[in-house]
Structure 1
Amino acid sequence: MDSDAEDTKSQVENTEHPLGLEPLTKKAKKKKKERPPVQAKVQVVNDRPERIPPIVGYFPSGFDPQKNLDDDSESGMGSTNIKIYRNKKMPKRLQLVVSSNGSPVDFVGTSYSGEATAGQKCMYALGVFDKETHTLKVVPIAANKIFRLDPRVRGLEYSAKEPENSTVVELTAEERAEKAREATILWGTKSSIKKAKKIQALRQEGDPDSKKELDVKMKTVVVNKQALESTEAHVSRNIPPHDVSATTPERAYPLEQIIPNVEWDYLQDIYNLLQQDGADFEGYPTFIRNRVDRLKKIQDESEKRKVCCILSYINHLMKFKEQHTADRSSARAHKIPSILHHKFSAMFAVPESKWLPTEKINLLTSYILVLTLFSDRFRTSCTDIAKDLKMTFLRVRQQYESLGCKMMREGKVYYATLPVPLQFPELRQKFKRKRT
């Protein structure tokens, strides 16, 4: 038994490693552990417009360009050529071609077909470590793409379309956004994870399973006729959620139904600007600029933050309206938080048009006017908001009155107030005259 065990041990020790590596002895392992750490200096090489950053290509066929280079040099035959082509009309389109002289096969990868168009938003970089200088150079890869080099026989024509049995599936914008959110929740920062979870929670309302659960629950719900009448008025009059039985102006249009709690964290821009000396509010509408001095005088910080958030919401609504009209130059660069943009698109936009229809513009304007009442303690001037909305004073006055407001005149200034309980003007129906 002892002799057999020794033979087995010698066979194991003499067996060659499948990758040609030599087994580490105990001394070698000890030396490996005792190696001192290397203090490396990281150097990031930025992009240069006149130069193309490195392009990475891989060979799924198993072709080894390094081996071919060694074989060609030993045999004296041609070498492996690597060329990069750029489309003259579309400079962002690149093509990487690897060919070996003496072989009729080229390996081609592009930035505009195959895996490069799969919609994966990954950022790649190439790191090169110099042992002598102890420097790690990090270089971004061109267009953040890694090219798949597929074999192509010279002289044959290949279709630019993907084959029917291709495993590459183009993702829709919706699917790409969902995958990006999932990756953020797994690997993002605390703030980005919190933001992604909030967006995900808002999107669950469109989930089929959630709808089934809602249908089951709705069967046991008792219908509130008063709420139903309020909803019908909301649809027909294009006004925000309201309560006709409210005894205070604050409850007539519940603020938590207009700006949910989940959205307040994204409305801090005006409040943060107020904390800075000499802050510039030039990019904000006239209605907001005229109230900056009053904001600074508010002593209660919670009240000041609340009014600032309401004004920020008004600003985003105005910019969204301008971005969906013909003259949108002033709002083109404005960035609306994604959670608000998704909500505004669902409430006011229509999929078949990039412009807002008239009834949606009226609804959006009603939201703005209701929020102006909150910001001015339910006594607001019509002059500056009419200028921002590019509407006549008479048109703004009519819309305030359609929300249940009453107009008061002090000198030459008209103020909109909100008496309670809400009383809406009767809707007038237009009848066509019959021709006799």
Structure 2
Amino acid sequence: MAKPKEKKKKAEDQSPSKSDVGKNNDDDTRNSQHQEIDEAKSIKKMKKKKKQKHTVTMETIAENPNNISPIVGYFPSGYDPLKNNNSNGVDELSTKLYRNVKRNNRLQLVVSPNGSQVDFVGTNYSGEAASAQLCAYSLGVFDKGTRTLNIVPIAANKILRLEPRVRGSDGPETEDADTGKQELTAVERDEKLRGLTHMYSSKKSIRQAEKLDSLRRQEDTGNQEEFDRNIAGAINKDALEIAVTTDNARNTPPYDLAATTPQLAYPLERIISNGEWDYLLDVFKLMKAGAEMTPGVYPSFVCNRSYKLEHIQDEDEKKRLAGIFSFITHLVKFKDKHSMDGVSSAKHHKIPGILFQKFSSMFAIPDSKRLPEERKNLLINYVLVLTLFADDFRTDLSDIAKDLRMNAVALRPHYEYLGCKLVREKNVLLATLPVPLTFPDPRRKRRR
């Protein structure tokens, strides 16, 4: 009788209780929730994997002077040219572009809706377009097939405001008259720029502008005194021959025919003004810090002669030679900035503002990225005269010819034009400057 009771107990132990059933249900719900979370995470991972990175080529198209660039304009009046689009394919708008005959940089865009007496006119020289602009606009066109983003400059770098105007009114004539009144003379423009500099520029820029003005006034005073001396001695022909000439006579730096030493033949104070030496201390500071000159930053002529600064004991003489090296560097980099083959080497070179304005007025012309041949030769002559000062008037032509992107044969006529004599010592061609200064006679082409 005892054995059946034990079987019943075993059967009761094997059947789960209600509490056990509840626990199992909770575990199932938790497992299902974890499975749903895992499935959501896997779906997110699949979506991330589906996102692919696309490679896009960006191409910048330069402005072509023979073709007109895209023109961008907007209608401030709220007129929508695409609202009444003609389904028959007939153009609803007539767009015309006019260019000034005398001033080809002035453009006028006229948009004329068909069947209307109102024209929408926008210009790049009056109204909103005449205000100050501190950015450049470009138009981007993305080609999905080739995955190329073409960036094109827009015409006149202006977004034209298309104002409504009744056809036949005299608006354009009155507008041209107003724009003529807005044009300032050179003196008024300088005064206005000086006022804006004092109002909005930094203290450093204001000091540089004031120093530049004082240097200009000193130069004007010196030119007037020199002119008075020349007029006073006009009767004496000998005095006229030995007078200190200006750089306009022979496209050279200022020279003195009566000089008895090479140092006075081309006065250094007439090439580098007194106020400009304070902006030519970069080579001197670099030498003081014990750093080496890298050929990419400084011309090879300067790098090959930097050792001379270490052997000079006099501090003023050391600053003078370092300033000449710095001035040569800025001249060479200014030439590279305005040339096709050297613009990359001068891309990150910073020329002090006072020197950049001087170089721009002497060697460059407005609205041109290239130097005229005559002014480029003048810049080369300034560099060559300073190389004579740096080498005690016995200079090697090879390294400075490399810096000017010329060969030594092409550089020889420039030295001869300055009155130098070329001598060969130990298979090295040297340029010397004998005194008194004499210039070669101009060569005339023979007629055949």
Task: Sort the TM-score into its range (normalised by shorter chain).
Answer: 0.5 to 0.7
Q: What's 1:409 paired with?
A: 424
Instruction: After superposition, give the CA deviation of every residue in 1:91-125 in whole Å (9 maximum; x if it has no partner).
Output: 9x9x9x9xxxxxxxxxxxxxx9967963399xxxx
Q: What's 1:374 paired with?
A: 389
1:314 aligns with 2:328: yes
Q: Give the drift of 1:258.
A: 0.9
Q: How does 1:144-155 map to 2 (within 5 A)?
A: none
Aligned residue among 290, 306, 328 for 1:277: 290
Q: Give the drift of 1:395.
A: 2.1
For the 8 Å contact 2:395–2:430, the answer to whether it is kept is yes
For the 8 Å contact 2:257–2:437, the answer to whether it is kept is yes
Q: What's 1:294 paired with?
A: 308
1:263 aligns with 2:268: no
Unaligned stretches of 5+ residues in structure 1:
1-88, 98-111, 122-155
SS at match of 2:327: helix
For the 8 Å contact 1:242–1:253, the answer to whether it is kept is yes
Aligned residue among 255, 263, 269 for 1:250: 263
> Who wins on radius of gyration, i.e. which is larger?
2
Aligned CA RMSD, in angstroms, stands at: 4.4
Instruction: After superposition, give the CA deviation of every residue in 1:385-410 in whole Å (9 maximum; x if it has no partner).
Output: 11111222122223212212222322
1:419 aligns with 2:434: yes
Identity of aligned residues (%): 48
SS at match of 2:429: strand
Distance across 1 between alignment mates of 2:284 and 2:219: 33
Corresponding residue pairs, total:
295
TM-score by length of 2: 0.54
Q: Give the drift of 1:384.
A: 0.5
Q: 1:420 to 1:182 in 2, by over 3 A?
A: same
Q: What's 1:364 paired with?
A: 379
Letter in 2 for 1:405: C
Distance across 2 between alignment mates of 1:287 and 1:407: 18
Q: What's 2:7 paired with?
A: none
Distance across 2 between alignment mates of 1:310 and 1:356: 23
Q: 1:260 to 1:228 in 2, by over 3 A?
A: farther
Q: Give the drift of 1:304.
A: 0.9
For the 8 Å contact 1:118–1:170, the answer to whether it is kept is no
Q: Give the drift of 1:354.
A: 3.1
For the 8 Å contact 1:119–1:171, the answer to whether it is kept is no
Distance across 1 between alignment mates of 2:299 and 2:204: 29
Q: 1:391 to 1:196 in 2, by over 3 A?
A: same
SS at match of 1:414: strand
Question: Larger deviation: 187-196 or 249-258?
Answer: 187-196
Instruction: After superposition, give the CA deviation of every residue in 1:335-379 in whole Å (9 maximum; x if it has no partner).
Output: 222222222222222347432222222221111111001111112
Distance across 2 between alignment mates of 1:278 and 1:258: 28
Instruction: After superposition, give the CA deviation of every residue in 1:195-218 in whole Å (9 maximum; x if it has no partner).
Output: 1112223556999xx9xx999979
Q: 1:265 to 1:234 in 2, by over 3 A?
A: closer
Distance across 1 between alignment mates of 2:423 and 2:219: 44
Instruction: After superposition, give the CA deviation of every residue in 1:33-81 in whole Å (9 maximum; x if it has no partner).
Output: xxxxxxxxxxxxxxxxxxxxxxxxxxxxxxxxxxxxxxxxxxxxxxxxx
Distance across 2 between alignment mates of 1:226 and 1:320: 39
